[in-house]
Structure 1
């Protein structure tokens, strides 16, 4: 890339989607040269600020849409290099764990610790900082359920899990203590916890709201349908429930925490059975959902609640069991057949990359996935798969 001030000034004035298209076709050497040229032209801008601008337009670098940095300890330049591998699908695949009995596992990732539920227990596995490899034996085990763990969430101080027997257990992460919350009489299919508030959803067709200081629910919300997913808003003023969409045509409902009332529905005309299996707030007003109708949808709670802002369709007509976003441009989703994981760019309608983690005749949904800046972990029925995007020698289709 030539050091031409006029070309660089023109480049700086391009729309973000056009700038991203240009950046996505540059290799790591060109990106490095680009940062040097920018530095030479804009002398009052530090090199870190230049790399930060480039990183914001790339996939999964930790720079969110609102400008915060999820991985402040990692060099921006190295993250941009790894982002090129995410874009191109360059990674190394491993299977760190296998088990004989088919399960419905769930995952949470917290720094260098990966939490995995297997039957009635949740294991905390250490990830080596340099290699990213998973230790085969958990450093800590959270137990106490009489049935399988259906879902669990992490807060700064607690691990909250819901079981197939209907109980919710609140484990302290600092002390060896556990609080039992009783209220549901069937399996707890979903959970979320933020700021001392817990919301749960169950097969018993209710959602319940709890606090960390009480063993009994603060409020109970009759749903007339099985509750598959819940998400608490970052403001803690509302939460959203996703149901099976069998008894009504509005699977997504928004609830006010203070008044304990439904304040609206999201979407219109859902087909029967278009249940919402997973959801994630990316900001107080933006919510991502996915489920049985094969679509990922982005909702803006400030706009018309009857229509989503954007949607992405799974091309193989598979139900979508889980999703995660990087807070900026990337979405990862897990589908119901053959361990299908897809990477999406929010600025494009088509899928960016596809990884098939299980092969015929064995087929398993991706029940949960979590990713960091360099790794993606996916939990299937009988194995845990890891994709390392720091590698350049393997290309997975």
Structure 2
């Protein structure tokens, strides 16, 4: 009698069906992938993000980075786990935290002057506006954000002393200077207006609609008109009893807020009603 052979598997038969390829990791259900990824550290999650687009998207989810972020420096989480910076991806916060911890940074001198000054800066589209002494200079940003062009494309002048603060609103620059004056420039044009505003330096300004608000070292905050025929006319003067360092007007033009030096007994933050 012949020896009874063992049954042959379909894979061993010559004309059998080809073996199905193994399922890749990213073919697993998302819930299972998130569970697996929750055991990975920051370095492993970064490596996983290089595999494919789906894993890159998956490994960047905030819920995977929260545990790591709570153990990082300045990541925006309190000891109780409250997120203080909900609008910023947690992965980016971990990256910045590790750069701070390991000292990974790149120092690059974009602009340099002979005099050491503390400029006020505003970024608007493709230009960086910054104050230097009594002028405001507009520097074009190089392509791909690699730096600034060495020479300014426009210079806005008018003050006799240093520019303390300026704002950019609706293609206009409103600046306050150490000479107590306020200057309004139209960015794309030659129009400019200058008027005396305070007895001492103008520490802060803001501009909305047809109104300018300003705060000064002389312990006053003022509201100015820019309406036709009334440009530079003072509409209100508020005695703040302390030096005003910051000011902002409501977009509805109904009120403005001042921040003072807090050297007196009054509250440093106060809201003033413009409709009364």
The TM tier, using the shorter chain, reads 0.5 to 0.7
The one of 93, 112, 122 equivalent to 1:108 is 122
Query: Residue 215 in 1 paired to residue 232 in 2?
Result: yes
Q: RCO (CA 8 Å, sep 6+): is it higher in 1 or 2? A: 1
- In structure 1, how many angstroms separate the alpha carbons of the residues matched to 2:57 and 2:264? 60
Query: Residue 141 in 1 paired to residue 167 in 2?
Result: no
Q: Which has the higher helix share?
A: 2
- In structure 1, how many angstroms separate the alpha carbons of the residues matched to 2:57 and 2:113? 52
Residue 141 of structure 2 contacts residue 148 of structure 2 at CA under 8 Å; is this kept in 1? Answer: yes
What does residue range 89-168 of structure 1 map to in structure 2 within 5 Å? 89=99, 90-168=104-182
- In structure 2, how many angstroms separate the alpha carbons of the residues matched to 1:255 and 1:244? 17
Q: Is the alpha carbon distance of 1:85 and 1:140 closer, same or farther for their aligned partners in structure 2, counting shifts above 3 Å?
A: farther
Query: Residue 36 in 1 paired to residue 50 in 2?
Result: no
- In structure 2, how many angstroms separate the alpha carbons of the residues matched to 1:211 and 1:34? 58
Q: Out of 162-171 and 128-137, give the one that drifted further.
A: 128-137
Query: Residue 172 in 1 paired to residue 191 in 2?
Result: no
Q: Which has the higher strand share?
A: 1
Residue 220 of structure 2 contacts residue 243 of structure 2 at CA under 8 Å; is this kept in 1? Answer: yes
Residue 143 of structure 1: CA displacement? 0.4
Q: Is the alpha carbon distance of 1:83 and 1:215 closer, same or farther for their aligned partners in structure 2, counting shifts above 3 Å?
A: same
Residue 243 of structure 1: CA displacement? 0.6
Any idea what SS the aligned residue of 1:93 has? coil
Residue 105 of structure 1: CA displacement? 1.4
1:194 alignment partner in structure 2 = 208
1:310 alignment partner in structure 2 = none
Residue 4 of structure 1: CA displacement? 3.6
2:245 alignment partner in structure 1 = 228
- TM-score, with structure 2 as normaliser: 0.67
Residue 97 of structure 1: CA displacement? 1.9
Residue 133 of structure 1: CA displacement? 1.1
- Report the structure number with the largest CA radius of gyration: 2
Structure 2 unmatched runs, 5+: 1-24, 70-74, 76-84
Any idea what SS the aligned residue of 2:129 has? strand
1:15 alignment partner in structure 2 = none
Q: Is the alpha carbon distance of 1:98 and 1:39 closer, same or farther for their aligned partners in structure 2, counting shifts above 3 Å?
A: closer
The one of 26, 30, 36 equivalent to 1:5 is 30
- TM-score, with structure 1 as normaliser: 0.48
